[in-house]
Chains A and B, each alone.
Chain A
């Protein structure tokens, strides 16, 4: 009886950890991508100050969730996102439209990729 209770408790714990980590990752990614969409629109409309301000907000959100994401994801992924954000900030500062657009799209893809990797799909399992 005690063994069954232990097994059940462990199953619940593992399921809980899985659900919580998936929720955290999806929520953080959604939040960041929403901000990046606004940045993208600002860049398209050549509103550089607005774009930079939007990116600063995005970076602040990223810094809030980075530590938690580092526990759940490969550090390489979070490092790549960090580097991409720095690059985007420079492109926006230099008002390089093409590079900024390319970089913001790359950043959105990187963030989307971390949620795609966590989804329970056949591709991810195999």
Chain B
């Protein structure tokens, strides 16, 4: 049993490392070849974990080969548009200027029920409101509503807005993030002063503190403190 536990931990560590090396993508946004790699890696890791009669290398080597294949394919996709098109295909327009393109639906074997479902998921329940709908290569449907039906933006009312940058996290789970403090060009003394306004004496009491581009500090205290 200890052997199984040890093998599982080794393979788990390997899979996490490999997935980390393969790059950052959400599962729903994977290209087909990336999804295949993920599925195969999980299968290859599972078999030696449960069967101690198989050498660990029988799982490790194929996983490394898949990492190599995935990295190579990603690199070639980056460098060559032709290769990328061959591997991932092209996005397909399903609705163009408000008209459903039947030949495209038929070619992709994408039925109307699926189309309407995806439109609802994208918060566009009325198909009459859609200008363009594009089926992306990862299977996601991108919806561009008609200009009269899209959410209003300040530009529509010619309202000038201030610049909004990224909020910067200063404290996370009681730990002061010095690097982020530096990026925000702030110093710890300033932070201590500001935290006192929230009845906080130390950064260790803070669950999360972040500052936005307008200088507004958000602070939430920890509910449960470690004794």
For chain A, the count of residues having a C-beta within 8 Å of the partner chain is 15
Known: A3-B75, A7-B72, A14-B65. A72 touches B57 (CB 8 A): yes
- In the complex, A11 has a CB within 8 A of chain B: yes
Out of A4, A14, A70, which one reaches B68, CB within 8 Å?
A14
DSSP class of B's interface residues: helix, strand, loop or mixed?
A: helix
Mark A1-28 against chain B: 1 for CB-CB distance below 8 A, else 0: 0011011001100100100000000000
Given A72-B57, A75-B54, A76-B53: A10 in contact with B64 (beta carbons within 8 A): yes
Which of B55, B57, B61, B64: most chain A Cβ within 10 A?
A: B55
What residues of B have a CB within 8 angstroms of the CB of A6 in the complex?
A: 71
Which residues, 43 to 76 on B, are CB-close (under 8 Å) to A? 52-58, 61, 64-65, 67-68, 71-72, 75
Q: Chain A residues near B75 (CB, 8 Å)?
A: 3-4, 7
> Given A14-B61, A17-B61, A7 and B55 touching (CB < 8 A)?
no
Known pairs A7-B75, A14-B61, A17-B61; A72 contacts B55 (CB<8 A): yes
Instruction: For residue B55, give the distance in angstroms from its CB to the closest CB of chain A.
Output: 6
Which of chain B's residues have a CB closer than 8 A to the CB of A76?
53
- A10→B55 contact, CB < 8 A: no
**B65–A75 touching, CB < 8 Å:** no
Say yes or no: A10 contacts B57, CB within 8 Å. Answer: no
Given A14-B64, A17-B61, answer yes or no on A75-B53 (Cβ-Cβ < 8 Å).
yes
Query: Could you tell me if A71 and B54 are in contact, using CB atoms closer than 8 angstroms?
Result: no
Can you list, as one digit per residue, whether each of B195-223 has a CB less than 8 Å from chain A (1) or not (0)? 00000000000000000000000000000
- State whether A71 touches B65 (Cβ < 8 A): no
* Complex alpha-carbon distance, A6 and B54, angstroms: 29
- Assembled-state Cα–Cα distance A36/B85 (Å): 58
B71 touches A75 (CB 8 A): no
> How many A-B contacts are there with CB distance less than 8 Å?
34
What's the nearest-Cβ distance from chain B to residue A118, in Å? 12
Do A11 and B57 have beta carbons less than 8 Å apart? no
Q: Closest CB-CB distance, A30 to chain B, in whole Å?
A: 21
Q: Bound state CA distance, A10 and B69, in angstroms? A: 10
Known A14-B64, A14-B65, A75-B52; contact A7-B71, beta-carbon cutoff 8 A: yes
Contact bitstring A64-90, B, C-beta under 8 A = 1, else 0: 000000111111100000000000000
The answer to whether B55 touches A70 (Cβ under 8 A) is: yes
Complex CA–CA separation, A12 to B51 (angstroms) = 29
Q: 17 interchain pairs (CB within 8 A)?
A: A3-B71, A4-B75, A7-B68, A7-B72, A10-B64, A10-B67, A11-B68, A14-B61, A14-B64, A17-B61, A71-B56, A72-B55, A73-B55, A74-B53, A75-B53, A75-B55, A76-B53
User: Chain A: residues with CB nearer than 8 A to chain B?
Assistant: 3-4, 6-7, 10-11, 14, 17, 70-76
List residues of chain B with CB under 8 Å of any chain A CB: 52-58, 61, 64-65, 67-68, 71-72, 75
Q: A10-B64, A14-B61 are in contact. List 20 more A-B contacts (CB 8 A).
A: A3-B71, A6-B71, A7-B68, A7-B72, A10-B67, A10-B68, A11-B68, A14-B64, A14-B68, A17-B61, A71-B55, A71-B56, A71-B57, A72-B57, A74-B53, A74-B58, A75-B53, A75-B54, A75-B55, A76-B53
- Report the 10 A-B pairs with minimum CB-CB distance, sorted nearest first: A75-B53, A10-B68, A3-B75, A76-B53, A7-B72, A71-B55, A7-B71, A71-B57, A74-B53, A72-B55
